[in-house]
Amino acid sequence: MKIWFGLLGFAVMAILPFIAGEYFVNLGSQILIAVIFASSLNLLVGYAGLTSLGHASYLGLAAYFSAWLSLKFGLDHAVTAPAALLLTTLIGMIFGWIALRATGLGFLMLTLALSQIVWGLGYRWVSVTNGDNGLSGLTRPSPFGINLDVSANFYWFALCITTLCLLAIARLVHSPFGASIRGTRDQPRRMSALGYNVWSIRWFTFVIASFLGAVSGLLYVYFHKYIHPSVMAITVSAEALLCVIAGGSSTLIGPILGAVLVVMLKNYASAYVERWNMLLGFVFLFIVVFLPKGMVSARFWRQATPGGKP
DSSP per-residue string spanning 182-195: HHHHH-HHHHHHTT
| pLDDT tens series, the chain, 310 aa | 455 556 666 777 788 888 888 889 999 999 999 999 999 999 999 999 999 999 999 999 999 999 999 998 989 999 999 999 999 999 999 999 999 998 889 999 999 999 999 999 999 999 889 989 999 989 999 998 889 999 999 999 999 999 999 999 999 999 999 999 999 999 999 999 988 999 999 999 999 999 999 999 999 999 999 999 999 999 899 999 999 998 888 888 889 999 998 898 888 776 676 677 777 778 788 887 777 787 887 554 555 544 444 3
Q: How many CB atoms lie within 10 A of CB 269?
A: 17
**Cα distance between residue 28 and residue 25, in whole Å:** 5
Residues 63, 66, 70, 72: is their CA dihedral positive or negative? positive
Helix axes 234-247 and 276-290, enclosed angle (nearest 10): 30
Determine, yes or no, domain membership for 10: no
Determine, yes or no, domain membership for 14: no
Residue type, 46: G
Residues 6+ apart with CB under 8 A from 237: 41, 52, 53, 54, 55, 56, 57, 115
- The strand pairing partners of 135, in sequence order, are 227
Determine, yes or no, domain membership for 87: yes
Determine, yes or no, domain membership for 256: no
Determine, yes or no, domain membership for 302: no
Determine, yes or no, domain membership for 298: no
**Cα distance between residue 280 and residue 221, in whole Å:** 25
- Alpha carbon 144 to its chain's center: 26
Determine, yes or no, domain membership for 221: yes
Buried b (16+ CB within 10 A) or exposed e, 208-241: bbbbbbbbbbbbbbbbbeebbbebbbeebbebbb
pTM for the model:
0.91
The count of structural domains within the chain is 1
Residues 17, 18, 22, 23: is their CA dihedral positive or negative? negative
How high is the pLDDT of residue 273?
A: 67
**Half-sphere exposure of residue 143, counting CA atoms within 13 Å on the CB side?**
11
Helix axes 276-290 and 254-272, enclosed angle (nearest 10): 140
Residue 227, SS3 per DSSP: strand
Buried b (16+ CB within 10 A) or exposed e, 158-192: bbebbbebbeebbebbeeeebebbbbbbeebeebe
How high is the pLDDT of residue 298?
A: 59
Determine, yes or no, domain membership for 267: no
Residue 177 domain boundaries: 27-247
